[in-house]
Amino acid sequence: MASSYVTFSTVTPVVSSSNIRRVFRLAFTRRRVTLSPNARRRILRISAKASTKNAMEYRKLGDSDLNISEVTMGTMTFGEQNTEKESHEMLSYAIEEGINCIDTAEAYPIPMKKETQGKTDLYISSWLNSQQRDKIVLATKVCGYSERSAYIRDSGEVLRVDAANIKESVEKSLKRLGTDYIDLLQIHWPDRYVPLFGDFYYETSKWRPSVPFAEQLRAFQDLIVEGKVRYIGVSNETSYGVMEFVNTAKLEGLPKIVSIQNGYSLLVRCRYEVDLVEVCHPKNCNVGLLAYSPLGGGSLSGKYLATDQEATKNARLNLFPGYMERYKGSLAKEATIQYVEVAKKYGLTPVELALGFVRDRPFVTSTIIGATSVKQLKEDIDAFLMTERPFSQEVMADIDAVFKRFKDPSFV
C-alpha cells in the first residue's frame, strides 16, 4: 500500500483548482479521476502547509502581565542528554523562532541525580549572559515534598514547601542562573500527597499533614517584595490545590498563582479536562496552563513503534529504564498507532498531529517542548507554525473517535 506522506520541493508552485486538475490529467491519461470535495480540500491543505509559515502567537499568562509565546522551551535534558554547546544551540534557535519563555527547575536535569543536579541552570546561565534578559520570560520550579532528594538542601533533610526551603531554593537558583530575578516561580509538585507521574487515583491512606497554603504563599510574597520573583504558579496540581491557593490568596491578601504546569497530550487528557478546565477558566480562577509532555515522552512521535530497536536505543524511554513507563503499555501503544494513522490520513506527521492538537486547545496558554537536537526542535516548532490553524472538523472528529475508544491509555 502506498505511503500517505507527501514530499514537497523547497519551491512550491501556486496551488489552484486548475493546477490540481492539470496534474491529475497528466498522471492518469487513460482513466478519468474525479476527486471528492474532501479529497480536493485535503490536497489544498497539504500544499498550503508546506508553503505557508504562520507567525508565533503570544498570550497573556493568567492575570499576570507576562505575554509568553505559545511555545515554551523545555530544558530538562540539558546536562544529561545534551552538552552545554548543544543546549546553547537549541536555546538560540528557539529565540530566533520567536520563543520567549524558557522553563527550568532546581531538580533538572532529569532523571534527578545528585551528581548532575543544577547543571541545566548552569548551561542556561552561560547562554543567558549574551542575551537581553528583559526579553526572556524565565520560569523555574522549587521541589515539592521528597524524601529521596534531600541532597538538594544544605540540611540534607526531607524537602518541604515551607519558607526555609523556598528561600534556599530561590537563592541557589538565582546564583546558578546568573540573574537577579525569576519571572515565574512554580511549585514543581505539591507538598501534600497527590497522585503523581503516572498514578491516577487518590489513595486516601496516603494522606499526610502538609505545609498550610497560607504559609507557602507568605514565603512567596516575601520574595516578590524583595524583587527576586515576579509571579508564582503550580505544577502537577489538582483542582483542590488550585482552588485552595486562589481562595487563600484572596482571603489573606497574598499573591495569587497565575499558572499551572501539568501534563497534557493526546494520551493524557482526562486529568485536566474533567474539572481543571473549569477551575482554571479565565472567568473563574484565571490560571494559565503550561502543558508539558505534549508528545507523551516522545511516544506520540511514533518512534517507539519501530521494530528496529537500534534506531531508538538513545531515546529517553529506552535510555532510562522505568522512566515514563506508563507510555510503553500495550494500550498506550495501540492508541498511538491509531493516532499515527489519523495523521497519515491528513498528510500530517505524528508530531504535527500531536502538537497541533495541544496548540489548538482553547485552555492551553503555552506548550512546553523539549528536544535533544536542533533538528528535533525545528520539527517541533514547525508543527506549530506550518500546519493549518485550527485543525479542521474532520481531523478533530477522527481524533475524538480514537479518544472515545482509549481515553487515557497511559493510566490503565
Q: What's the CA gap between 13 and 23, in Å, rounded? A: 12
pLDDT at 248: 98
Mean pLDDT of the chain: 88
Q: What's the CA gap between 153 and 169, in Å, rounded? A: 8
* Closest listed residue to residue 120, CA positions, set 95, 147, 138: 138
pLDDT at 318: 56
Note the pLDDT tens digit of each residue in 125-151.
999 999 999 999 999 999 999 999 999
pLDDT at 223: 98
* Closest listed residue to residue 304, CA positions, set 410, 195, 200: 410
Q: Which residues contact 314 (CB under 8 A, 6 or more apart)?
A: none
pLDDT at 104: 98
Q: Which three cell numbers stand for residue 25?
A: 490529467
Note the pLDDT tens digit of each residue in 378-401.
999 999 999 999 999 999 999 999
pTM of the model: 0.86
Residues acting as catalytic residues: 108
Q: What's the CA gap between 236 and 326, in Å, rounded? A: 16
pLDDT at 306: 76
Note the pLDDT tens digit of each residue in 5-44.
323 233 333 344 444 444 334 343 334 445 555 555 555 4
Q: What's the CA gap between 336 and 299, in Å, rounded? A: 7
pLDDT at 25: 41
Q: What's the CA gap between 177 and 54, in Å, rounded? A: 32
pLDDT at 315: 61
Strand partners, 136: none
* Closest listed residue to residue 63, CA positions, set 203, 230, 190: 230
pLDDT at 125: 98
Regions of the chain with pLDDT less than 70: 1-51, 308-329, 411-412
